[in-house]
């Protein structure tokens, strides 16, 4: 192949590639595709991240607190504490600290955690008990009167404000209900059947109790007026949010960051125990293989008792064991006469009274044959096993 042919093939290849590129350019249609990678690590770690962003967009300052110990450094005036974390380990001293902070002028919003126990006259929620509000289940309440106007949204909580024609709607969980037996609440919000938010004055501050805070999590805050309600409760204040008070203990942290060291430590302890348990005396000689079997020991013991105590002592011991078990199964067995006792034994063992009478009747002091003795023992064992 000469040089001219190579140039022609090269030119033809360039023309074909150019024509193909123009064709693809004219036929190709650009498009955009949105790939959802799921929640960010920050959203996974903070279920109230969307709520914080919403409040910050309205000019409010939102901070986090890991423990209630930081409350001593927070000025209660112009400040709201959102206590959404689990409080089962809250001490009475911590409850007093939170309530004193609210009494000094702070706004406190917390979730009622426990149901009111009528017998104990308390719940396991220290804050709820000290503000004298009770929480119960909504299905324990009476149904509203049927003659009232039918509620269009019975499962939504409605908050009515002055100078407003329509209420605000919030998506509280309708499974719980708040009760105010002392008539301390100054504002509240209800669904068709239950109350899910109460607000009362507390010293110079205010306390708002809600049945749940799920409506302010990232998945639900965009529904209804949930976001607006959170802004309404915290308006014109700085905000401190406590939602995660459960932290890993020392052993959990050690296992997370130093698992190899912990495994080595336990291995050393196991080796030390094994070494300490070794005996330093002479090695015990193996047991001779000619020793008797367990069955032989049992047979020898039975022959010994039979030779020294006789048949009647063995039968009497079995009879006493049957009567002792009958006393445990049937209270008042000893107060019955013999015939009634046999009837009770017949009912308990499902054996005929004739067999029971033969087994329990006293025998004359005469030696029984091997067959008769074996049959008598079998009857008594049957009665004893049935009891």
DSSP state of 166: S
pLDDT score at 215: 92
pLDDT score at 172: 92
290-322 burial code (b ≥16 CB/10 A, e <16): eeeeeeeeeeeeeeeeeeeeebbebbeebbeeb
List pLDDT tens digits, range 119-135: 888 888 899 999 999 99
DSSP state of 123: -
Q: Residues of the chain whose pLDDT is less than 70?
A: 1, 37-39, 144-149, 244-250, 252-253, 256, 278-311, 362-366, 368
pLDDT score at 223: 92
C-beta of residue 135 within 8 angstroms of C-beta of residue 122: no
Strands (E), the chain: 62-64, 79-83, 107-111, 134-137, 157-159, 168-170, 176-179, 187-190, 195-202, 205-210, 238-242
pLDDT score at 289: 58
- Measure the CA–CA gap between 371 and 264, rounded to whole angstroms: 67
Give domain limits for the chain: 41-143+152-242, 297-386
Q: For the domain made up of 41-143+152-242, give the CATH fold.
A: Rossmann fold (3.40.50)
Instruction: Kindly report the pTM of this predicted structure.
Output: 0.56
**379 closest CA partner among 356, 361, 362:** 356
- Measure the CA–CA gap between 318 and 305, rounded to whole angstroms: 13
């Amino acid at each position: 192949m000469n040089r001219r042919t190579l140039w022609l093939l090269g030119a033809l290849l360039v023309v074909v590639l150019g024509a193909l590129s123009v064709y693809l350019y004219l036929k190709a249609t650009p498009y955009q595709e949105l790939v959802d990678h799921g929640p960010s690590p920050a959203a996974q770690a903070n279920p109230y991240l969307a709520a914080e962003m919403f409040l910050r967009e309205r000019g409010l300052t939102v901070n986090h607190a890991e423990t209630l110990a930081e409350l001593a450094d927070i000025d209660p005036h112009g400040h709201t504490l959102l206590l959404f974390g689990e409080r089962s380990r809250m001490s009475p001293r911590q409850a007093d600290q939170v309530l004193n902070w609210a009494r000094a002028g702070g706004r406190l919003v917390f979730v009622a955690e426990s149901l009111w126990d009528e017998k104990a006259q308390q719940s396991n929620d220290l804050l709820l008990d000290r503000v004298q509000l009770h929480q119960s289940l909504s299905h324990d309440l009476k149904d509203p009167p049927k003659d009232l106007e039918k509620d269009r949204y019975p499962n939504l909580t409605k908050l009515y404000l002055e100078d407003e024609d329509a209420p605000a709607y919030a998506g509280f969980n309708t499974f719980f209900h708040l009760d105010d037996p002392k008539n301390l609440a100054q504002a509240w919000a209800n669904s068709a059947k239950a109350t899910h938010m109460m607000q009362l004055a507390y010293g110079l501050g205010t306390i708002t109790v809600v049945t749940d805070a799920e409506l302010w999590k990232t998945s639900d805050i965009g529904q209804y007026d949930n976001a607006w309600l959170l802004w309404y409760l915290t308006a014109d204040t700085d905000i401190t949010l406590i939602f995660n008070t459960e932290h890993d203990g020392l052993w959990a942290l050690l296992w997370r960051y130093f698992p190899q060291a912990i495994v080595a430590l336990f291995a050393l302890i196991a080796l030390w125990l094994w070494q300490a348990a070794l005996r330093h005396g002479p090695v015990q000689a193996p047991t001779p293989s000619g020793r008797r079997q367990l069955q032989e020991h049992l047979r020898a013991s039975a022959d010994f008792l039979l030779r020294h105590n006789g048949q009647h002592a063995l039968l009497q011991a079995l009879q006493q064991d049957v009567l002792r078990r009958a006393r445990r199964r049937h209270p008042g067995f000893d107060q019955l006469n013999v015939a009634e006792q046999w009837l009770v034994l017949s009912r308990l063992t499902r054996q005929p009274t004739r067999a029971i009478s033969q087994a329990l009747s006293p025998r004359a002091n005469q030696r029984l044959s091997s067959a008769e003795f074996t049959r008598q023992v079998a009857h008594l064992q049957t009665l004893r096993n049935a009891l």
